[in-house]
Copies of this chain bind each other. A is one copy, B any other.
Amino acid sequence: MEIFGIEVDLSNLINIGLKIGLLILAFIIFIPIGKKIIERTINRAGSNQKISESRVKTLEKLLVNLFSYVMIFVFIVMLFAIFAIPIGPLLAGAGVVGLAIGFGAQGLVSDVVTGFFLLLERQVEVDDYITAGGYDGIVEELGLRTTKIRSFNGTLNFIPNREIIGVANHSRGNMRALVDIGISYDENIDEAISLLEKVCAEFQQDERFKDGPNPIGVQGLGSSDVVLRVVGQTENGEQFGCQRDMLKRIKEAFDEANIEIPFPHQVNIQKG
């Protein structure tokens, strides 16, 4: 049978249809089994060898992800085999189309190359709090092509790995708590600092603080106030809570000691 110059063979069509059916069936059965096996193996290995839980989760998510891509690739190759299309020359023959595909697909390759090193160099793990590619939040899943980050406001961000140019990982090691507090130009600096030292002494008992906090001196002479700075090291993730507690405590201590935290000042000269 010929339709507009293209020869069509019916029995061949049925044959191909059957093969495709079998192929799809095989995959529908095989894929969920494969995923289960990966998950169990990783979990057992993790609990046996005392690997940190977040590392286990990272590996599990990654392997499942990798497994999916390999399955898609195998599926496409088999499909081509069923249609008896030689895939090698197709990929190697660079013409106009090849050029366009080559250029268009370079983003994909960049994604995978970057993703590979993100994982290899352990720059990011699931549950880390990171800033990358203009997004900011908790890592939910690490893939070879895409990284999923859950923002503080609840949004789920999908970032192609190639966009992750530099990673700022906020979950590695102690974090700094910093409070800048302005006092009036009329106050005695030494008195204010000794008061800050007393407040800091209280916080140094706090388990969340790994180092300090300590007042480090006059940070600047503002237009209306003398700015004093207090700096400390806290456990990872506790820095914001610590800063909030310090702000409250310092404000109250200054109120008690009658040290003024000044409003903006302006000198008015009356004329006319």
A94 at the interface (CB under 8 A from B): yes
Does B261 contact A185, Cβ atoms closer than 8 Å? Answer: yes
Question: A107 — which chain B residues lie within 8 A by C-beta?
Answer: 104, 110, 113-114
Copies of this chain in the oligomer: 7
Q: A220-B247, A264-B267 are in contact. Are A95 and B95 (CB under 8 A)?
A: no
Chain B residues lying within 8 Å of A239, measured Cβ to Cβ, are 153-154
If the complex has contacts A4-B78, A263-B269, are A96 and B102 also in contact, measured as CB distance less than 8 A?
A: yes
Is the CB of A81 closer than 8 A to any CB of chain B? yes
Does B108 contact A106, Cβ atoms closer than 8 Å?
no
A217 is an interface residue with CB less than 8 A from chain B: yes
The chain B residue with its CB closest to the CB of A90 is B96
Q: Does A214 contact B (CB under 8 A)?
A: no
Query: Is A272 in the interface zone, CB < 8 Å from B?
Result: yes
Give the interface segment out of A44-52, A53-61, A169-177, A200-208. Answer: A169-177
Shortest A237–chain B CB gap in Å is: 11
In the complex the two chains form, what is the Cα distance from A163 to B173 in whole Å?
24
Q: Does A21 contact B (CB under 8 A)?
A: no
Given contacts A92-B93, A169-B155, contact A221 B105 (CB under 8 A): no
Q: What would 19 A/B residue contacts be, using CB atoms closer than 8 Å?
A: A4-B23, A72-B120, A93-B96, A94-B99, A96-B105, A107-B113, A153-B176, A154-B174, A154-B176, A156-B172, A159-B166, A221-B247, A221-B251, A224-B263, A224-B267, A263-B265, A264-B265, A267-B268, A267-B271
A18 interfacial by beta-carbon distance below 8 Å: no
